Structure 1
């Protein structure tokens, strides 16, 4: 029996690398930072970093940051995600399930974490945008990371994978930096948003991918 299982599900180096670098290591970093946040510990570099970033503010950068924070927010990502979900549902339902659990699940997880940690937002200068929920982790960073990671996984076996990877990482990175520039998050909020979104989607992928393969085999 064990021989049969090992033949059907070989332990692949790529899967191990994804597990370690994409899930375990990010969660260890998030756990370490989350402990500091729960204990209300002040992380020394964060306020000076934000103030140094704000010192380079210009009207043009203000507008760019506002645009990026809009594009990376739920008002834009949610409708696009719903459209992708509908298209996948019409064409390949196992992928639709993966997409829905990845993106919607990341949003739900972010809400739970905000309620749990309830970290106040930075108050270092008069902000261009007002946010009234908790700061940790950054919802924009987590949504965009989950959206981008799921999109990259969908595109990975297509000719568009490198385009999706480069544009996706650039987009999610720019969204997170816009939140720091606007002073609505601490750096650790953004980093943990990115890492949690990444780990969540890769975890969902690891669980649901065998189901998708099984349905393909049945259909064949």
Structure 2
């Protein structure tokens, strides 16, 4: 007779397993509280020292603020760079990044990671203003202000806290999908961004040293709380981490891989690069020749008179309401808007296609347009219209071509190209109306504010349209093939 063999786990092992699980839970809880204290204790200590006006800290705050203001106030270029860097910790950019990260993870069906990012961002939006209202510390008063002093309280630094939380959260989400050798570099890059944002708040004279330190500490504490809560949520479903050092304990197969498909980021390799360089050289040559022809040969002909008469007529139609509308329209191709829309297109294209090709396409399109604009405008060096302009600080010799119009065609043309390639149905071709309507409208707004002549606008349209076509031709799959590639990538994600 065959005896039945009991292959179940012996009862004697159950207490051992329970003890091991309890020990793991206790260790994770201890690490979570330790991380929280690392941020909370320094923040509370700084708060008490600021409230009591501790002389050493007050002296350090005042001396650093005065010294940095003295070094920065004499360099407008340095102030511009500092303002650009400090925007990386601003509310608008933080909201954009967190929303894009959440949408990216939802598209990739990483709902738990998306919830972690969303909750972390929402808590940040609440915690920062509350802390400022409670402490209510006045801003530094420097001898030579270089930026407008914000109206809200100084302690803690909102930009520093935002940088810590936003880029720290992105780091935690990205770590499981990054190779071990690359992880230290990713951590270092994140630290550089966080420190740089904090330094800009000091250099611009809008925060004390203690404000920045408190912002980092409070941000680290909040990030530790949400990370610990996410770890507990993971283990509540019986999921065990594959990588012990993964801060969020993301289960195997649950990593937020950026581009899991095998689609090459740069199809054709060197050949594609050479083709794009040839296209850029051709666009630059045509723009430059046309610009020199218009400014040096045809300026006193019917074309020159047409340019000047159109500008004069449009300027005569100015009214307060129309001016507000035109200035708002012009903002749609402002540098910050172009960067924001381009970032959104790159991230969403990466999420939908599961390939680097859309992101590379967007970056090459926007960067190439900017380089072509600067190169051609420097060579042609056309003066702007000689009428009262509504835009201050414009370079006088950069009228040809219109940079705003070229940027509008580039970014909104890139949007249309991505929808046509990766969208479904005939409706997707209607998205061409976006650049077809917006770009000329922005061109009219640039003439209205007396920043450009009509021929400058036409040159901007030519630059943007040809460059977008070239980038789409060499960097994106033909219409229809992108749909099949995206479907295959979605199926691959479903098997993870």
TM-score by length of 1: 0.87
Measure, in 2, the Cα distance between the counterparts of 1:77 and 1:156.
Answer: 20
| Unmatched 5+ stretches in structure 2 | 1-13, 240-253, 255-495
SS at match of 2:71: coil
Q: Which residue of 2 aligns with 1:89?
A: 106
Q: Which residue of 2 aligns with 1:100?
A: 118
| 1:15 to partner: Cα distance | 7.0
Whether 1:29 aligns to 2:32 is no
| 1:213 to partner: Cα distance | 4.0
1:38 to 45, 51, 63: 51
**Structure 1 stretch displaced more, 59-68 or 159-168:** 159-168
- Compared with structure 1, are the counterparts of its residues 131 and 5 closer, same or farther at alpha carbon in structure 2 (3 Å cutoff)? farther
Q: In 1, are the aligned partners of 2:136 and 2:154 still within 8 Å (CA)? A: yes
**Structure 1 stretch displaced more, 145-154 or 161-170:** 161-170
| 1:94 to partner: Cα distance | 1.2
| 1:40 to partner: Cα distance | 5.2
| 1:120 to partner: Cα distance | 0.6
CA displacement 1:156-184 (0-9 Å, x = unmatched): 22225334312211111101100000000
| Unmatched 5+ stretches in structure 1 | none
1:158 to 174, 177, 198: 177
Q: Which residue of 2 aligns with 1:205?
A: 227
Q: In 2, are the aligned partners of 1:88 and 1:96 still within 8 Å (CA)? A: yes
Measure, in 1, the Cα distance between the counterparts of 2:177 and 2:131.
Answer: 34
- Compared with structure 1, are the counterparts of its residues 56 and 100 closer, same or farther at alpha carbon in structure 2 (3 Å cutoff)? same
- Compared with structure 1, are the counterparts of its residues 9 and 98 closer, same or farther at alpha carbon in structure 2 (3 Å cutoff)? farther
Q: In 1, are the aligned partners of 2:32 and 2:228 still within 8 Å (CA)? A: no
- Compared with structure 1, are the counterparts of its residues 29 and 216 closer, same or farther at alpha carbon in structure 2 (3 Å cutoff)? same
| 1:95 to partner: Cα distance | 1.0
Q: Which residue of 2 aligns with 1:56?
A: 71
**Structure 1 stretch displaced more, 29-38 or 107-116:** 29-38
Q: Which residue of 1 aligns with 2:148?
A: 129
| 1:203 to partner: Cα distance | 1.4
**Structure 1 stretch displaced more, 67-76 or 185-194:** 67-76
Measure, in 1, the Cα distance between the counterparts of 2:65 and 2:133.
Answer: 24
| 1:136 to partner: Cα distance | 0.7
Measure, in 1, the Cα distance between the counterparts of 2:82 and 2:140.
Answer: 17
Rg comparison, structure with higher value? 2
**Structure 1 stretch displaced more, 59-68 or 34-43:** 34-43
| 1:137 to partner: Cα distance | 0.5
Q: Which residue of 2 aligns with 1:191?
A: 213
- Compared with structure 1, are the counterparts of its residues 60 and 127 closer, same or farther at alpha carbon in structure 2 (3 Å cutoff)? closer
SS at match of 1:56: helix
Q: In 1, are the aligned partners of 2:88 and 2:163 still within 8 Å (CA)? A: no
| 1:93 to partner: Cα distance | 1.2
Q: In 1, are the aligned partners of 2:102 and 2:114 still within 8 Å (CA)? A: yes
| 1:200 to partner: Cα distance | 0.7
| 1:17 to partner: Cα distance | 5.5
- Compared with structure 1, are the counterparts of its residues 103 and 216 closer, same or farther at alpha carbon in structure 2 (3 Å cutoff)? farther
Measure, in 1, the Cα distance between the counterparts of 2:172 and 2:22.
Answer: 20
Q: Which residue of 2 aligns with 1:74?
A: 91
Q: Which residue of 2 aligns with 1:175?
A: 197
